[in-house]
């Protein structure tokens, strides 16, 4: 289900954004009251958007719309998306503003929604077949302990880029597991039996640009 909020993510109070951490991590949300404690299902697919600065003009190719925000202002603006929340965001893409010169250019034809739907359905079926003897059907459901278990762990020659990032501290263990899930998804989209070093590197790159 899609709930459009109609505002840039950093415009929301940080406390509101951080309330998303639990459902993103566990797929549920716990409510504690004086005489009541309950857990409700809250599996979500979260899509956030943020301008690079409060005025939205940072990086603009149009000199007339030059950003006048100070570096500290930009840092504070994007800093409203906390590190723990950003660590739970699997894909972080930077989309540059399109110059008016490029509006009339015709590029390669974009795939149709039907074609994309068929590709995603095939990838999900591929994942479900691989996971048929487990308690899960989607890569997003796989726990890190299972992904890193001796019988399921990918060869270290392929995960070396992840292992180095984890050793340097540039990637948390949560991030490590999330990159693995994305890599498995990339492999399923390509119809491959397992992700190779290329899919893992691509998943790491997709995690790299954005809020943190």
Where do the structural domains in the chain lie, given as residue ranges? 9-89, 113-208
From the list 80, 13, 4, 11, the residue with the least C-alpha distance to 46 is 4
- Judge whether 141 and 45 are in contact, CB under 8 Å: no
Sequence-distant (6+) residues with CB within 8 A of 142 are: 131, 136, 181, 184
CA end-to-end span of the chain, whole Å?
A: 27
Q: What is the pLDDT of residue 144?
A: 93
pLDDT in tens, 50-109: 988 898 888 776 656 788 899 999 999 988 899 999 999 999 988 877 665 555 556 667
From the list 111, 76, 73, 78, the residue with the least C-alpha distance to 92 is 78
List the beta bridge partners of residue 37: 32
Angle between helices 197-208 and 156-168 (to 10 degrees): 30
Q: Which two tokens stand for residue 146?
A: 């299972």
Q: What is the pLDDT of residue 1?
A: 45
pTM of the model: 0.84
Q: What is the pLDDT of residue 211?
A: 39
């Amino acid at each position: 289900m899609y709930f459009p909020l109609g505002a840039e993510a950093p415009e929301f109070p940080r406390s509101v954004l951080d309330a998303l951490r639990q459902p993103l991590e566990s797929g549920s949300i716990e409510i504690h009251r004086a005489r009541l404690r309950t857990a409700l299902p809250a599996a979500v697919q979260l899509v956030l958007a943020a301008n690079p600065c409060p005025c939205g003009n940072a990086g603009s190719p149009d000199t007339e719309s030059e950003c006048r925000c100070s570096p500290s202002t930009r840092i504070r603006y994007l800093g409203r998306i906390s590190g723990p929340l950003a660590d739970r965001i699997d894909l972080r893409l930077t989309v540059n503003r399109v110059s008016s010169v490029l509006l009339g250019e015709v590029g390669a034809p974009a795939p149709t929604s039907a074609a994309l739907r068929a590709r995603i359905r095939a990838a999900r079926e591929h994942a479900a077949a691989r996971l048929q003897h487990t308690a899960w059907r989607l890569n997003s459901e796989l726990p890190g302990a299972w992904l890193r278990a001796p019988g399921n762990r990918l060869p270290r020659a392929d995960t070396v880029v992840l292992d180095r990032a984890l050793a340097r501290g540039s990637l948390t263990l949560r991030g490590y597991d999330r990159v693995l899930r994305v890599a498995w998804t990339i492999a399923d989209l390509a119809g491959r039996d397992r992700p190779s070093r290329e899919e893992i590197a691509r998943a790491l790159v997709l995690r790299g640009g954005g809020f943190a």
